Amino acid sequence: MTTPTAPQSLSSIMDGNSFQARDLDTLPAAERELITRRMAALGPSYRLFYKAPVHAERAEGCYLYSPDGTRYLDAYNNVASVGHANPAVVAAVASQMSRLNTHTRYLQDGIVDYSERLLATLPAHLDTAMFTNSGSEANDLAIRVARLWTGGEGVVVTAEAYHGTTELLSRVSPAISGGFPDDPTVRVIPAPDTYRVDTEDMGAWFAARVREAFEDLQAHGITPAAFLADSIFSSDGIFPDPAGFLHPAIEVCREFGALFISDEVQPGFGRTGDTFWGFERHGIDADLVSMGKPMGNGIPVAALVGRSEILGRFGKEVPYFNTFGGNSVSIAAAAAVLTFMQDTDLRSSVASVGADLKAAISGLTADLPWVGDVRGRGLYIGVEVVRDRDTREPDSVRALELVNAMRERHVLISVAGPGNNVLKVRPPLVFGGAEVALFAERFQDALMAVERR
Amino acid sequence: MTTPTAPQSLSSIMDGNSFQARDLDTLPAAERELITRRMAALGPSYRLFYKAPVHAERAEGCYLYSPDGTRYLDAYNNVASVGHANPAVVAAVASQMSRLNTHTRYLQDGIVDYSERLLATLPAHLDTAMFTNSGSEANDLAIRVARLWTGGEGVVVTAEAYHGTTELLSRVSPAISGGFPDDPTVRVIPAPDTYRVDTEDMGAWFAARVREAFEDLQAHGITPAAFLADSIFSSDGIFPDPAGFLHPAIEVCREFGALFISDEVQPGFGRTGDTFWGFERHGIDADLVSMGKPMGNGIPVAALVGRSEILGRFGKEVPYFNTFGGNSVSIAAAAAVLTFMQDTDLRSSVASVGADLKAAISGLTADLPWVGDVRGRGLYIGVEVVRDRDTREPDSVRALELVNAMRERHVLISVAGPGNNVLKVRPPLVFGGAEVALFAERFQDALMAVERR
């Protein structure tokens, strides 16, 4: 039971797969020059992926293209969820932009229509929506709302959680908490690591961790406000299963009078294939639901949804206005995404294609002693690269070799988890059979290359 | 010298000009129905402007249109700075969207080119840019950066300051601090109210307030980190003059080892007509510069610019990645805005049109005993509505009558200031002579209507 502490190095979510300036001389002149200009103008916060960064110029569907015409299979990006340059989204944005783009202090049909459609995808008690520009703004707002509602301050998160970029969120994102002071109101619990935790009942085990955290908060005189988690435990290393294991934890959360904030930035909008929202897979209720990344297919738009009594109290007591939040164009993008998903029954496709992709990965790695686990749901798959299957010790070096071997073979993936050793395979949701076949072919080749080293 | 305290009511920035549900029955059926649906889906955070909200369907240049074809002159919106539905921005966004929209972990030309162009508008020592989705995210980041750099926590802001929507910013935004606890690291100083403060030397007077605040922080063991202000003091009631009065305050800020964060969300991008950035009008240096609203003409994009040693240290020590921040499309929008401004020499137009607009307003109100002051710079003009010119007591009731009288005459303005009594006239920067004439005609009519009451 600890508050977040500074990691020894920049954590996986930020640095695991980063280009290092020392490799600059290995790159072609054009990229070398552009990276040098970039480093001068943007500074060191701006890290690039891969030993040899990908120079992106255009993209379509599941493919990115560099200026020289090289095609990359995108098995990483969850923002362009309905496909890069999705024509329906492009058309909706262009049309709305040429007509009107303004804020929510004027009456507009678009935001009302979309809100009703969005709320219809959620359980009936989640009946109010507020719009922001990023999942970060939504999570920041969620914690403010939970604290006002409960009168408490205490927030519980998992060990490698990442919930966004604001100062408040840096305090509840142990994955990036380096350089910032501990926060006495935050408690960090272990992730539901089904690969390493020795338990027959993950539900009971995880609920016990949540209980300990809330008890520790109370013991320090801090009233519980929220348990904040994404139900796929993305930055912890991808732990979606078994579906339902979150149920006892949420019961504990309720017992302590805290709200459950379901961070759906990663699992939401059909990513898991099973349900439209990640928390629904677990058969649980959420009090507040934050969402972002894929919502507008890349146009900044995000939201916080919750029960009307909770968001209503905040709205009455605390002035909140978000200039760009819910602007006409962002809403048009979000509406086009939702229409595309519904018209194409994208979630069903995610379920079947995701199962095929996972089966292919499992098949190719079944005999490799340094691949310990293949897990995930829908189009979010994690592959544990380890020293060996007995110790299960993370092997970040080999994982990153594999990531870079895939990049050399023009397939984009990255790593997750506290050990930087879980391959993160998380393509656009329009991934199809052809993409699974291409991925498998390149993955087999990359595995062999890395195996041989 | 106080920390922020909860206001008695929701403050001007949020509630001064809000539609009240009790007026619902006075509206036409179509608006009544849409507002009812909107209240149900969005909750009470979503306030509408005016006694009779404006139903917006399309917009062009300086004009908004409702579904029935009514045309409104927009003398309020500073986001659509290069004009509503500016064709160059629409084309740039549509083109970029159909080509590529992704994040900054891939190498892209657009963000490097734009960063260099943006930095070229700023003093040479401000040589590094970081991109966010909103001015809020930029200000939140600015405070984190300032605290890391100085090792201090103390932040000084003005009495009715508003710096954004995040939890951290709610603590440094007295305008909306209702419902949240005081923050011991924040000090609030009076605004440089040139209308009410009795001083011959605003520079010395204001610098003394900044000094008192930093001294009080130190007396409480809190190391100064930043003075955060927008140089036009927008939500305080619009106090841009005399140009240069901020100079002594910034000297004090430096003396205490604190950074000056220039919040350019309001005065930046040529709003004042005098200079491209508000702080330049005062002949001062900024350590960090945040910007947002007009940057992408409505596409969410914002930035924090600063000295490379300051942002570089943050970048090296603190992982920061903003998924949508600096995405290809937001950058394309920002680049199109900058090109438009430079190609049309928009700032010069702002200077001359703004002078004409202010002269027109001054002329029409010169003999009205209930208009105490007309001030502002470029296209940001404030008009003090008071009980009388002797007491200078704010008259919010009459100010809001005037705002609604203008809305009835199809001209959009609002109010600012702690007393909800300063007319806020802040049109798109493409406002021209025809718009000044139309504004003046309607304003004269509205003044007479309100005078007669």
Average pLDDT, rounded, for chain B: 95
For chain B, which residues make up each domain, given as ranges?
54-84+346-452, 87-343
**Block residue for tokens 């029935």:** B68
**Confidence band, pLDDT 50/70/90 cuts, at residue B448:** very high
Nearest to B155 by CA among B225, B84, B238, B230: B225
- When scoring B20, B98, B304, B410 by the number of chain A Cβ atoms within 10 A, the one with the most, hence best to mutate, is B98
- Predicted model pTM: 0.96
Q: Which residues, other chains included, contact B69 with Cβ-Cβ below 8 Å and sequence gap of 6+?
A: none
Asked whether the predicted pLDDT for residue A134 surpasses 90, the reply is yes
Q: Which residues of B touch A112 (CB under 8 A)?
A: 34, 37-38, 41-42
Tokens at residue B434, please? 């025809």
CB contact under 8 A, A176 and B318: yes
CB contact under 8 A, A319 and B130: no
Tokens at residue B339, please? 């090109």
Q: B145: distance to nearest CA of chain A, Å?
A: 10
Across B305-309, average pLDDT: 98
Q: Which residues of A touch B312 (CB under 8 A)?
A: 43-44
**Confidence band, pLDDT 50/70/90 cuts, at residue B8:** very low
- When scoring A126, A324, A403, A407 by the number of chain B Cβ atoms within 10 A, the one with the most, hence best to mutate, is A324
Q: Which residue of B has its CA nearest to A31?
A: B107
**pLDDT digit string (tens) for B199-229?**
999 999 999 999 999 999 999 999 999 999 9
Query: What pLDDT score does A414 carry?
Result: 97
Q: Which residue of A has its CA nearest to B297?
A: A101
Provide the CATH number for the domain formed by A12-84+346-452 in this structure.
Answer: 3.90.1150.10
Percentage, residues of chain B above pLDDT 70:
96
CB contact under 8 A, B41 and A327: no
List A residues 315-354 in contact with B (Cβ-Cβ < 8 A).
Answer: 315-325, 327-330
Q: Which residue of A has its CA nearest to B178?
A: A318
CB contact under 8 A, A106 and B79: no
Tokens at residue A121, please? 């995808």
Q: Dihedrals φ, ψ of A58, to 5°?
A: -150, 170
Q: Which residues of A touch B318 (CB under 8 A)?
A: 170, 176, 178-180
- When scoring B105, B121, B126 by the number of chain A Cβ atoms within 10 A, the one with the most, hence best to mutate, is B105
**pLDDT digit string (tens) for A239-273?**
999 999 999 999 999 999 999 999 999 999 999 99
List A residues 214-233 in contact with B (Cβ-Cβ < 8 A).
Answer: none
Query: What pLDDT score does A4 carry?
Result: 38
CB contact under 8 A, B49 and A106: yes
Percentage, residues of chain A above pLDDT 90:
94
Tokens at residue B167, please? 């939890």
User: Which of A111-115, B6-10, B150-154, B448-452 has the weakest average pLDDT?
Assistant: B6-10
Distance CA A97, CA A297 (A): 16
CB B151 within 8 A of CB B119: no
**Confidence band, pLDDT 50/70/90 cuts, at residue B16:** confident
Query: What pLDDT score does A15 carry?
Result: 58
The answer to whether A151 contacts chain B (CB < 8 Å) is: no
CA A103 centroid distance within chain: 27
Q: Which residues of B touch A318 (CB under 8 A)?
A: 170, 176, 178-180
Residue A286 three-state SS:
coil
- When scoring B136, B163, B293, B424 by the number of chain A Cβ atoms within 10 A, the one with the most, hence best to mutate, is B136
Asked whether the predicted pLDDT for residue B438 surpasses 70, the reply is yes
Nearest to B122 by CA among B337, B339, B304: B304
CB contact under 8 A, A57 and B100: yes
Query: What pLDDT score does A70 carry?
Result: 98
DSSP letter at A23 equals: G
Q: A273: distance to nearest CA of chain B, Å?
A: 23
Q: Which residues, other chains included, contact A276 with Cβ-Cβ below 8 Å and sequence gap of 6+?
A: A121, A268, A269, A270, A347
Residue B293 three-state SS:
helix
Q: B205: distance to nearest CA of chain A, Å?
A: 31
| Dihedral-angle region of residue B378 (phi above 0 means left; psi in -120 to 50 means alpha; beta otherwise) | left
Burial A142-176 (b: 16+ CB within 10 A, else e): bbbbbbbbbebbbbbbbbbbbbbbbbbbbbbbbbb
| Domain B54-84+346-452 shares a fold with domain B87-343 | no
Across A343-348, average pLDDT: 98
Q: Dihedrals φ, ψ of B300, to 5°?
A: -60, 115
Query: What pLDDT score does A2 carry?
Result: 41
**pLDDT digit string (tens) for A363-417?**
999 999 999 999 999 999 999 999 999 999 999 999 999 999 999 999 999 999 9
Q: Which of A148, A299, A318 sits opposite B329 (nearest CB)?
A: A299
- Residue A218 burial (C-beta neighbours within 10 Å; 0-12, 13-18, 19+): middle
Across A192-215, average pLDDT: 98
**pLDDT digit string (tens) for A50-82?**
999 999 999 999 999 999 999 999 999 999 999
Residue B7 three-state SS:
coil
Q: Which residues of B touch A144 (CB under 8 A)?
A: 167, 170, 180
The answer to whether A40 contacts chain B (CB < 8 Å) is: yes
**pLDDT digit string (tens) for B323-368?**
999 999 999 999 999 999 999 999 999 999 999 999 999 999 999 9
Tokens at residue B208, please? 């003394």
Q: Which of B89, B106, B321 sits opposite A56 (nearest CB)?
A: B106
Across B163-179, average pLDDT: 88
The answer to whether A410 contacts chain B (CB < 8 Å) is: no
Provide the CATH number for the domain formed by A87-343 in this structure.
Answer: 3.40.640.10
Provide the CATH number for the domain formed by B54-84+346-452 in this structure.
Answer: 3.90.1150.10
Q: What is the CA radius of gyration of chain A?
A: 22
The two beta strands, A224-229 and A58-60, are unpaired
CB B238 within 8 A of CB B376: yes
Query: What pLDDT score does A137 carry?
Result: 98
Average pLDDT, rounded, for chain A: 95
The answer to whether B36 contacts chain A (CB < 8 Å) is: no
CB contact under 8 A, B166 and A168: yes
**pLDDT digit string (tens) for A149-202?**
999 999 999 999 999 999 999 999 998 875 455 799 999 999 999 999 999 999
List B residues 75-114 in contact with A (Cβ-Cβ < 8 A).
Answer: 77, 79-80, 84-85, 87, 89-90, 93-94, 97-109, 111-112
**pLDDT digit string (tens) for B50-88?**
999 999 999 999 999 999 999 999 999 999 999 999 999
Asked whether the predicted pLDDT for residue B419 surpasses 80, the reply is yes
Query: What pLDDT score does A171 carry?
Result: 94
Q: Which residues of A touch B43 (CB under 8 A)?
A: 128-130, 308, 311-312, 315
Query: What pLDDT score does A178 carry?
Result: 53
Across B147-166, average pLDDT: 97
Distance CA A33, CA A23 (A): 13
CB B373 within 8 A of CB B241: no
Asked whether the predicted pLDDT for residue B13 surpasses 80, the reply is no
Provide the edge-to-edge strand list for the sheet that holds A371-377.
A371-377, A380-385, A422-425, A414-416
Query: What pLDDT score does A5 carry?
Result: 38
CB contact under 8 A, A84 and B102: yes
Distance CA A296, CA A110 (A): 14
CB contact under 8 A, B94 and A89: no
Q: Which of B42, B119, B293 sits opposite A128 (nearest CB)?
A: B42
